[in-house]
Amino acid sequence: MTPTRLSRIEATTRIVLKFNDAFNQHNVDEMMQCMSDDCILENTTPSPDGTIYTGKDEVTQFWHKFFLDSPHAHIEIEEIFGLGMHCVMRWKYSWMEANGIKGHVRGVDIFKVINGLISEKLSYVKG
């Protein structure tokens, strides 16, 4: 593997890590700085196929509502690796119900990064 190719793989993983840090801070503006204008977000719900959000405006609206509905949302990275313009992240998503009961699910995201920005975030969940 050439140093240039390795650098691109590392950059792909770094932008996903930056996105996840912003997620855990519930900082939608910073999250969206990591995403391209024509980004695609495939959410895990409703099952079995989830919902697809397209474009920065639609994805931004999704995240604002998501954090409003889940103010304790947190993603713990269990494993992450880059493959060219793709990055795979295995995670544990935790939240707290309105009655104080904690919950979590585990899953994986497949990211596509083009020109240093996330162009796709496809999410899959166990359960």
Q: What is the pLDDT of residue 61?
A: 98
Q: CB-based burial of residue 8 (10 Å sphere; 0-12 exposed, 13-18 middle, 19+ buried)?
A: middle
Predicted model pTM: 0.91
Question: What would the pLDDT profile of 50-68 be if each residue is shown by its tens digit?
Answer: 999 999 999 999 999 999 9
Q: What is the pLDDT of residue 7?
A: 67
- The confidence band for 127, taking pLDDT boundaries of 50, 70 and 90, is confident
* Domain with 91 in it: 3-125
User: Which 3 state secondary structure label does DSSP give 80?
Assistant: strand
User: What's the mean pLDDT when you consider all of the chain?
Assistant: 93
- Residues in contact with 54: Cβ distance below 8 Å, sequence separation at least 6, in sequence order: 38, 39, 40, 41
CATH number for the domain spanning 30: value is 3.10.450.50
Find out whether 109 and 126 touch, Cβ atoms under 8 Å.
no
Find out whether 89 and 109 touch, Cβ atoms under 8 Å.
yes
